[in-house]
């Protein structure tokens, strides 16, 4: 079965990872030790930002950005955040859990990212931020979005959970907005062996505030200046990430080779492939295709030895947790969620496996 196998993905780094684990065990420091500090320095340098703060996971990273802005007086309860309607639920949870109001905007059907041409119409007197989500590993940033945020004095926040190493005009995602949230969930392009996340920013005051809030609100030991939480990247995950970070670009390159094989050889008229992007503007966290006969395609591929996933089967505005919204209509988002299928792709996928996937997709009939 061609599938995402985390054991195989981590196998090339097993020796270094075991050495990292031994190093952490020998240090006797398992929280807020040297490994986290070193990873924060290395990841900030890689992304191209002044500051990196390791936190518990990607959702916490987003929440902490907004909590910090609220603590700093930049945002207030009830303020609005514009973000894509077709995102993963975590992007929206981060907004609502901070007492902010999400304003959903349809994506561009070709890019699958928030439609920059619709953002300005969604701005009101309560709008304070735009969140872009680099969904599927595709860059969501544009000069147009940047200009809108500058013109209306809006904080531009990146959800970079799926796009480690993605670029826009020579700059990495995670360094394009005012702050960015990163997830190191094991399936990500840069994945830990458990939960982990980070915030990157050039704003040192914001970074300091996030670091304090994430440590129970403590600005110094046993002194709690803010009503904080516990969200800290642990030493073990940081040490593992330090082993894998130097290989991220080469891993992404392998993903790109598999993706371009798909692009060159998939030709089933029943299966639609999204428009290609600039070579550096996609790190292929997923390879989404779209089919009106999704269930039949998934079953056909399963019988052919190909495991697929759906990202994501139910759009956020139809989820029970947001029933109070009354199921608003976002037809482009709904069509994406109704037809999306993610084909296998990883940093260790073989050419033979990719060929098997192509043959299976091309053989699909309905």
DSSP code per residue over 213-279: HTBTTEEETTEE-S---B---BHHHHHHHHHHGGGHHHHHHHHHHHHHHHHHH---TTSB-PPP--G
DSSP 8-state symbol, 357: H
Q: Judging by DSSP bridges, how do beta strands 167-168 and 171-172 pair with one another?
A: antiparallel
pLDDT of residue 1 exceeding 90, the answer is no
Mean pLDDT of all residues belonging to the chain:
97
CB 10 within 8 A of CB 17: yes
% of the chain at pLDDT higher than 70: 100
In CATH, 247-362 is 3.90.1150.10: yes
- Structure confidence at residue 277 (pLDDT): 80
For 197, the token pair is 């996340």
- Structure confidence at residue 342 (pLDDT): 98
> Backbone phi, then psi, for 281, in 5-degree steps?
-90, 15
> Backbone phi, then psi, for 179, in 5-degree steps?
-160, 155
Nearest to 211 by CA among 196, 194, 222, 226: 226
Residue that is written with structure tokens 């040297």 in the block: 34
Nearest to 181 by CA among 160, 162, 166: 160
**Which residues lie closer than 8 Å to 335 by C-beta, 6 or more apart?**
109
Cα distance between residue 27 and residue 24, in whole Å? 5
pLDDT of residue 197 exceeding 90, the answer is yes
Burial code (b: 16+ CB inside 10 Å, e: under 16) for 251-285 equals: bbebbbebbebbeeebebebbebbeebeebbbbbb
pLDDT of residue 164 exceeding 90, the answer is yes
CATH 3.40.640.10 placement within the chain:
6-105+112-246
For 327, the token pair is 């199921």
pLDDT in tens, 257-314: 999 999 999 999 999 998 888 889 999 999 999 999 999 999 999 999 999 999 999 9
Cα distance between residue 104 and residue 14, in whole Å? 42
pTM of the model: 0.97
In CATH, 6-105+112-246 is 3.40.640.10: yes
H/E segment holding residue 291? none
SS3 339: helix
CATH 3.90.1150.10 placement within the chain:
247-362
pLDDT in tens, 84-140: 999 999 999 999 999 999 999 999 999 999 999 999 999 999 999 999 999 999 999
For 178, the token pair is 């005012």
């Amino acid at each position: 079965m061609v599938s995402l196998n985390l054991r195989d993905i981590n196998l090339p780094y097993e020796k270094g990872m075991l050495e990292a684990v031994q190093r952490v065990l020998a240090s006797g420091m398992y929280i807020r030790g040297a490994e986290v500090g070193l990873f924060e320095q290395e990841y900030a340098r890689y992304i191209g930002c002044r500051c990196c703060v390791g936190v518990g996971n990607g959702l916490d990273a987003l929440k902490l950005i907004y909590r910090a802005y609220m603590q700093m007086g930049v945002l207030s309860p009830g303020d609005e955040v514009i973000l894509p309607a077709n995102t993963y639920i975590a992007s929206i949870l981060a907004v609502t859990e901070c007492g902010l109001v999400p304003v959903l905007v349809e994506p561009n059907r070709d890019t699958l990212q928030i439609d920059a041409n619709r953002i300005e119409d969604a701005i009101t007197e309560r709008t304070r931020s735009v969140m872009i989500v680099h969904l599927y590993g595709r860059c969501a940033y544009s000069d147009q979005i940047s200009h809108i945020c500058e013109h209306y004095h809006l904080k531009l926040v990146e959800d970079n959970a799926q796009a480690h190493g993605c670029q826009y005009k020579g700059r990495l995602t995670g360094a394009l907005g005012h702050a960015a949230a990163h997830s190191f969930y094991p399936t990500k392009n840069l994945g830990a062996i458990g939960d982990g996340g980070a915030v990157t920013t050039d704003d040192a005051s914001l970074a300091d505030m996030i670091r304090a809030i994430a440590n129970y609100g403590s600005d110094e030991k046993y002194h709690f200046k803010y009503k904080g939480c516990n969200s800290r990247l642990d030493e073990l995950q940081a040490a593992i990430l330090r082993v894998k970070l130097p290989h991220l670009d080469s891993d992404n390159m392998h993903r790109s080779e598999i993706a371009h094989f798909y692009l060159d050889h998939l030709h089933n008229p029943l299966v639609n492939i999204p428009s290609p992007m600039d070579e550096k503007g996609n790190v292929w966290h997923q390879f989404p295709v779209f089919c009106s006969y999704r269930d039949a395609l998934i079953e056909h591929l399963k019988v052919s030895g190909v495991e697929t996933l759906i990202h994501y089967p139910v759009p956020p505005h139809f989820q029970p947790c947001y029933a109070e919204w009354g199921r608003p209509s976002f037809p482009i988002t709904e069509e994406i969620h109704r037809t999306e299928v993610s084909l296998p792709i990883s940093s260790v996928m073989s050419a033979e496996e990719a060929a098997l996937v192509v043959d299976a997709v091309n053989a699909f009939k309905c």
